Structure 1
């Protein structure tokens, strides 16, 4: 097989692949056998029709078409492996030449344009030292958690004064456009300052007492008149303030399993310190990835970036809770995500990371659990949708990241070596698992699912 590679962009190449006759022949033979199973030719049993008869009766064009459909993707994959090219998207394939008959010496020739991982040099991770800020837990952190706990046990009591931020007002609302009432609600409980209803409502309620009302202009945020301006009248029926319990031993006994406030505070500090260690591990991870990218120019594939931006925008439109972000912010986020992926892929390759069957199944099962889905059904859907390769790639990145971080020395700002082993896992346990290549892992998962499906049907 002859392969030529032309760089179109820093992250895009065109491969021109020419396959010799002996490389196309197995696909031609397989195509003839498959076609022979589907056609009836007098004098021959299905599946036992000689290849020459298939060529004559069905036509060599059909045979070579089937062979090209099956052969081009495999030959393309072989070419990528031979040239050590790492694709980041599906290729654009274009068949240029095919033999027109079994005796035609024309070779199969096709091109493949594909966005690829850029080439760059990663630093060796062995011996790297990275400084990470010390996790600090202050008295303010403890008090913040205590206040949150107090709010869970707080009660609302009526007050005879004007409403202010933090109060809860029971209100009636009537929104009009012209003389027509387009939205009316009664007895709604609303927390002043929360900003969860109409724009301008907080300002209108501030300073009103029970029995008072006012009007303001607001923009309707739902219903048939969403986005339109309306004149809104709001009446306050009652004002209630949140009353929090005293911080004492009685509160500790009501809110926890502890007998004293000091014991409760000690437990909250312990939890806060554990959370701080987790944040420090996250900071260490980010610092590690950033160190790998220091001084390295990593261009991102434009097409992949555009697809990710489009998907990000689509997800944001379907999620009302998603924060708004401008185009520049979105592009920066996507570019960072892509560069991190590219670096971790290169790191996994540098560290010769392998993916195990258990890695893949555990990864997918954990995602299924997060979404409350049946793991078998979820994995089956992943396999059927052709997304298993992406899952295997994610597992490889994760394993590469952990292995790389284990090889690095992390220190705090005082020079003390950090022990992140509880977050990085046990390398020895991973090595005991049977390693398989990514493709083998994918096939094993698919076989496992098929076996489960058969067992279910038999039951």
Structure 2
């Protein structure tokens, strides 16, 4: 088989393939064997009729046509691998010779992955959550612990957020009381936003003995008629937090002092925030990189990514024993709306893919053959495979280029995350050392000698 590749416009190439008669005859012979299984010939068991009799009965063109249908994709795939063509869409194939006899010739025009510009990638500024909890945030967490042990005290003043207000409440929809929203002596936490925000708006500033009436939109968006509320304020209580001292720490935690309690709270919060910040570095860097891509993205690549995401969802649902149709009904979606929902993240993923390839090229991060051999050896190691044999199999199916691209993109992302400017929500620079988890000292076990 011989093939050539010609670059066209609009991110396309044309593969011209010629398959010699001897090679194609193998495909024709296989085609007649398949045909033999489908027909009955007197004196022969199914599948055993010889090719010459089938040709005499049906004509040689039948086998040739079947061979073209079955073998063409294989010939095309071989040409793609031979020329390392990075295809992103199905080809348009035109047979140019050999339909009746002689060598088979065809042209395949196919869309390839484009190169894009990611100008400015070396000056990205990425916002992430601050990995270090502030003193105010630590105090708030400790106050949340104190609130668990707060006592309620009646106050003679206007109600404010975080007060507990004892109320009689009645909600009418149409002419009927609303179950669950009509009760007496209900303890309502002001500022909680429970049910509808209008409750908080009307209770702020109210005092014991006040009666308020107001209307509010129904929480159910399908209900057009509003709710009518009548509320009587019976009592206002404030939460009195226990003193923050060593006695509180001893009684309500595993620590002996407030200082130790605060230090543990800070450690826990910082550990969580460091995890969140590191995840944000990856995600937000990718988003910032995608925003640099202004080139037009091939629709075929976006569609491929959407389909891959849908297929991944389908597989996960099937693993959980869920029917895809039932899932779509439960979430109020159709296949079309689901695809539309996936479109924006799919387009961003394609932009990230293309931009990372560009960065890898510009920064010289594409791995050489020696690095490829190292990675293949690492892949072969756990299963005891021979690295050369594994490499040969990967090459046969055109996966060496895919492996090289994956390693290049991984290196590009590592380069970016190491070099972007990191700032917090206030635009303040973040020290990269703050993203590292603190080293924990080795714990020494002390045992009493007997």
CA contact (8 A) 1:130 1:408 kept: no
Deviation at 1:233, TM superposition (A): 1.7
The corresponding residue for 1:144 is 140
* Aligned Cα root-mean-square deviation (Å): 5.7
The corresponding residue for 2:354 is 342
CA deviation map 1:21-76 (0-9, x unaligned): 55655544444444444544333344444344455557767655654554444444
Task: Provide TM-score, normalisation by structure 1.
Answer: 0.57
Does 2:171 correspond to 1:174? yes
Equivalenced residues, count: 371
CA deviation map 1:74-127 (0-9, x unaligned): 444444444544344xx34445438896x434736364554x43225889x9xx
1:216 and 1:395 map into 2 onto residues whose CA distance is 66
Deviation at 1:266, TM superposition (A): 1.6
Deviation at 1:261, TM superposition (A): 1.3
The corresponding residue for 2:266 is 269
2:251 and 2:33 map into 1 onto residues whose CA distance is 77
The corresponding residue for 2:322 is none
Q: 1:298 to 1:168 in 2, by over 3 A?
A: farther
Q: Secondary structure at the match of 1:7?
A: coil
1:82 and 1:69 map into 2 onto residues whose CA distance is 21
Deviation at 1:337, TM superposition (A): 3.5
Deviation at 1:263, TM superposition (A): 0.9
Does 2:99 correspond to 1:97? no
Q: Secondary structure at the match of 1:216?
A: strand
Does 2:226 correspond to 1:230? yes
Q: Secondary structure at the match of 1:42?
A: coil
The corresponding residue for 2:43 is 43
2:202 and 2:403 map into 1 onto residues whose CA distance is 51
Q: 1:168 to 1:130 in 2, by over 3 A?
A: same
2:31 and 2:13 map into 1 onto residues whose CA distance is 28
- Equivalent residue in structure 1 for 2:250, among 253, 275, 295: 253
Report the structure number with the largest CA radius of gyration.
2
Deviation at 1:276, TM superposition (A): 5.0
The corresponding residue for 2:338 is none
CA contact (8 A) 1:165 1:192 kept: yes
The corresponding residue for 1:204 is 202
Does 2:363 correspond to 1:351? no
The corresponding residue for 1:117 is 113
Q: Please show how residues 150-161 of structure 1 align to structure 2 within 5 Å.
A: 150-151=146-147, 153-154=148-149, 157=152, 159=154
1:252 and 1:62 map into 2 onto residues whose CA distance is 88
1:171 and 1:30 map into 2 onto residues whose CA distance is 85
- Equivalent residue in structure 2 for 1:219, among 217, 220, 241: 217
CA contact (8 A) 2:209 2:233 kept: yes
Gaps of 5+ in 1: 321-329, 360-388, 424-459
CA contact (8 A) 2:211 2:233 kept: no
2:403 and 2:164 map into 1 onto residues whose CA distance is 47
CA contact (8 A) 1:171 1:189 kept: no
CA contact (8 A) 2:173 2:228 kept: yes
- Equivalent residue in structure 1 for 2:414, among 402, 405, 411: 405
2:349 and 2:98 map into 1 onto residues whose CA distance is 47
The corresponding residue for 1:454 is none
The corresponding residue for 2:86 is 86
Q: 1:404 to 1:256 in 2, by over 3 A?
A: same
